[in-house]
């Protein structure tokens, strides 16, 4: 019998949870942050905004979550059921072959967020957001997408809960990733390359440069303009905001249960950061424990591209979330809202800022940020794919690169460290990037 075979601990290679073991609440880190989160400011008056001001853009249910002081918020049963459809609870897997390839004494675990039909962690919040909008009678959602992962996840969720979906996709990705676009259209969404001729702001950008590669900041401006001007449409954001981080904490809570089953505590928890949502979802439940008990040993490592170094080289100040200056001002690490990143393949990491919650934890030295070049990130991605058979998204590959570095350090120091990473998505629709890498054309 396999389970009784003493040669191998099967559950150490893949630790699973049953559907009944799935957490029933999201964890809100706001009451546990080392210093209170500074309020968002009105873009015009520069005074703190209140809930009413957000109502043209978001449904009341999500606004309440954005500002909630409650440590736990129940997940509605309709959303729990939808989570089963996106393969929650997701397995925690041991990367034994990667350990062997690196000849490291460290143990490496990765949390499988690539198994949702959309291919990433983003459905954890898209389903919740579509649900609360549907409950309040909203008919359409508009959004931006960088790599296309978020747009796919929201298209999927809007289709699930019967809403229309309009996606502004950063032009560089729209051209690089045509199959992402088609996936969104299969789920019934309309997709425009951003900057587009569909909005005033998009037309302004195109007038300056007809071949503008776009940026997440510009696409956010377009999606917000569309939400405010088009009837019964609200706006939806795939990262950065508190309620998005909240929805993603299903990941970290599952991970904690899985490490409990293994009777282990990770020395490192690693995630890539674009706006910060998969990193937050993976780490916040453990960070919350650490902040309350102040004694767990885990170190939290946030990984970003060297070409978009908001956490490692940005300034901590109030800035707009978008390029046009339509969003409230958020206190965060930022490269400036008019920063246009180079068109790297990790489209989801091309954002000028980072979530205020994640920024707060970096500033207070609870989270350590690191940055890597695209080429070394793809080296690590291909090494992982060969070892474990799974082709990672370019965004996820940033976390893999950091894990490889930590595992090699453990080897040098002969330490049996336990390293856990969030495997935020697969790269099956990012093969253009791999092609460039394999053909030796990546710089």
Contact residues toward ligand PLP (CB under 6 A) are 120, 146-147, 149-150, 239, 272-279, 348-349, 393, 395-396, 424-425
Backbone phi, psi, residue 269, to 5°: -120, 125
Smaller CB separation from ligand PLP, 241 or 410:
241
Cis peptide leading into 277, omega within 30 of 0?
no
Smallest gap from Cβ 413 to ligand PLP, in A, equals 30
CB atoms within 10 A of CB 344: 20
* Minimal CB distance residue for ligand PLP: 348
Smallest gap from Cβ 6 to ligand PLP, in A, equals 38
Smallest gap from Cβ 322 to ligand PLP, in A, equals 15
Beta strands in 155-231 (DSSP E): 164-170, 190-194
Smaller CB separation from ligand PLP, 150 or 320:
150
Smaller CB separation from ligand PLP, 130 or 237:
237
Smaller CB separation from ligand PLP, 166 or 345:
345
Report the distance separating Cα 275 and Cα 341, nearest Å: 14
Smallest gap from Cβ 371 to ligand PLP, in A, equals 14
Element containing residue 145 per DSSP (H, E): strand 140-145
| Residues 394 and 346: beta-carbon distance below 8 Å | yes
Smaller CB separation from ligand PLP, 349 or 377:
349
Smaller CB separation from ligand PLP, 266 or 275:
275
Burial environment of residue 409 by CB neighbours within 10 A (0 to 12, 13 to 18, 19 or more): middle
Smaller CB separation from ligand PLP, 217 or 274:
274
Report the distance separating Cα 55 and Cα 42, nearest Å: 13
Pairing of strands 92-94, 164-170: unpaired
Backbone phi, psi, residue 179, to 5°: -75, -25
SS3 content of the chain, % helix, strand, coil (to 5): 45, 20, 35
Question: What is the signed CA dihedral for 102, 108, 111, 116, rounded to 10 degrees?
Answer: 20
Smallest gap from Cβ 268 to ligand PLP, in A, equals 18
Smallest gap from Cβ 293 to ligand PLP, in A, equals 26
Smallest gap from Cβ 284 to ligand PLP, in A, equals 12
Report the distance separating Cα 268 and Cα 329, nearest Å: 32
């Amino acid at each position: 019998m396999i389970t009784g075979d003493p040669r191998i601990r099967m559950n150490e290679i893949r630790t699973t949870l049953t559907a009944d073991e799935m957490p029933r609440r999201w964890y809100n880190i706001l009451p546990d942050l080392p210093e209170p989160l500074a309020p968002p400011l009105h873009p015009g008056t520069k005074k703190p905004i209140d809930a009413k001001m957000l109502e043209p853009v978001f449904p009341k249910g999500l606004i309440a979550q954005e500002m909630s002081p409650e440590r736990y918020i129940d997940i509605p049963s309709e959303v729990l059921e939808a989570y089963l459809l996106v393969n929650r609870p997701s397995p925690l897997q041991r990367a034994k072959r990667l350990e062997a390839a690196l000849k490291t004494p460290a143990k490496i675990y990765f949390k499988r967020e690539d198994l949702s039909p959309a291919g990433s962690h983003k459905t954890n919040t898209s389903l919740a957001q579509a649900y609360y909008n549907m409950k309040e009678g909203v008919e359409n959602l508009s959004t931006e997408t960088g790599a296309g992962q978020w747009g796919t996840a929201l298209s999927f969720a809007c289709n699930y809960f019967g809403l229309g979906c309009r996606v502004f996709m950063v032009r560089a990705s729209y051209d690089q990733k045509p199959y992402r676009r088609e996936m969104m259209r299969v789920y019934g969404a309309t997709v425009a390359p951003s900057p587009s001729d569909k909005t005033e702001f998009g037309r302004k950008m195109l007038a300056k440069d007809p071949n503008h590669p776009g940026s997440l900041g510009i696409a956010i401006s377009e999606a917000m303009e569309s939400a405010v001007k088009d009837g019964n449409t609200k706006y939806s954001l795939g990262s950065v905001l508190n309620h998005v981080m909240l929805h993603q904490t299903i990941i970290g809570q599952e991970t904690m249960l899985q490490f409990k089953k293994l009777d282990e505590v990770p020395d490192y928890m690693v995630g890539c950061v674009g706006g910060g949502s998969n990193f937050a979802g993976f780490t916040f439940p453990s960070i919350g424990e650490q902040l309350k008990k102040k004694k767990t040993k885990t170190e939290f490592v946030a990984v970003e591209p060297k070409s978009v170094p908001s956490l490692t080289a940005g300034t901590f100040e109030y800035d707009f979330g978008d390029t046009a200056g339509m969003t409230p001002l958020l206190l965060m690490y930022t490269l400036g809202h008019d920063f246009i990143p180079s068109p790297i393949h990790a489209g989801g990491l091309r954002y000028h800022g980072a979530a205020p919650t994640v920024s707060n934890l970096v500033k207070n030295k609870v989270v350590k940020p690191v940055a890597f070049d695209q080429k070394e990130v793809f080296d690590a991605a291909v090494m992982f794919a060969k070892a474990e058979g799974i082709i990672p998204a370019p965004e996820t590959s940033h976390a893999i690169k950091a894990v490889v570095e930590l595992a090699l350090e453990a080897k040098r120091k002969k330490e049996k460290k336990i390293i856990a990473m969030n495997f935020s998505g697969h790269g099956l629709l990012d093969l253009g990037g791999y092609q460039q890498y394999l053909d030796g054309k990546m710089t």
